[in-house]
Amino acid sequence: MVSVIIPVYNAEKTIGRAIKSIIHQPYVHQLILVNDASTDNSRLLMDYYKDKYFPPDRGIKLDIIQLKTNEGVSASRNKGLDYVLSPFLTFLDADDEFLPRRFCEDVPLLLGNETIAGIYASVQIVYDDRDAQINHQKVSNEKEWIGAIKEDNTSLFSKFLGCKDQYFLLSGLLIRTRSISQIGYFDPSLLFCQDTDWLLRVNAAFHLLPSENKIPTIKIWRHAKNRILTPSLPAKFRLKMLWKWLPYVLNRKDFTFKQRFFYVNSLLENPEDFQQSKKSKMLRAIKRLVRNPRVFIWLMKG
């Protein structure tokens, strides 16, 4: 019923944990590992776990896709999408894990609601160690649980762009495979925020429901050396993603003023202004707003 796609790049320390979290999951019929030209022992470990945990009679089909060159996480996920055989699919990062009974509430909910394209579930943020927690909390105030938004997607799109913490993560989404033909693949030009960009397309196109799980069934591990800890680089790609969505957003009427203000403020925050004074940042933001009068009109009137 469910295919799980895991992009893998130099994940020898964690890939075993991710695979083991899947092998006993009810409803999982396929695991797709996309090795993005890892230079460590990731591929050897994938072959080892294939021999150990995936005999022909186990019931879970394991596909290991080998990329010749390192193409990035978007290309890896896109390649994995080409191999999906199940009616439902989800994603997991190679350093994260599913908790027991990950799909036991969500799959029946989808089976009983043909008009629903997907179910989103909350995830739990955990840290490798104290250093990882300190480093992450310097650049982000993310909550321990992410994605606990108990409403359907009539307002999810505006929450994604117009609120600080009203969103869910990619690994929390279980979606119908047939939906991919409408929303398309991940954008390889975005080195960061490619998952947010894809989830915005999902929210803009489909009706989603929150999971009925009361607690998270996915663990997202944060590490002391996560690449998102360099604030300026992710911020540049986040800004690119926000401007990419601007023409569509300006035609939306479901943003509250508070959400419109949050989104416009995010548009005007330039990562290159990081070290500048608040006054300089404000002056540059005003200049950008003057050059985009339609954005100002949308902000004030919706």
Write out pLDDT tens, residues 90-118: 999 999 999 999 999 999 999 999 999 99
pLDDT band at 197 (very low <50, low <70, confident <90, very high): very high
φ, ψ of residue 5 to 5 degrees: the values are: -105, 125
pLDDT of 86 above 70 = yes
In the chain, domain spans: 2-229, 232-301
Strands (E), 51-137: 61-66, 88-91, 97-98, 118-120, 123-127
| pLDDT recorded at residue 255 | 92
Write out pLDDT tens, residues 117-171: 999 999 998 887 776 666 666 666 666 777 666 655 556 889 888 887 778 899 9
- What 8-state DSSP symbol labels residue 273? G
d(CA 278, CA 257): 23
pTM tops 0.75, yes or no? yes
| pLDDT recorded at residue 148 | 67
CA angle centred on 63, ends 90 and 56, rounded to 5°: 110
- CATH class of this structure's domain 2-229: alpha beta
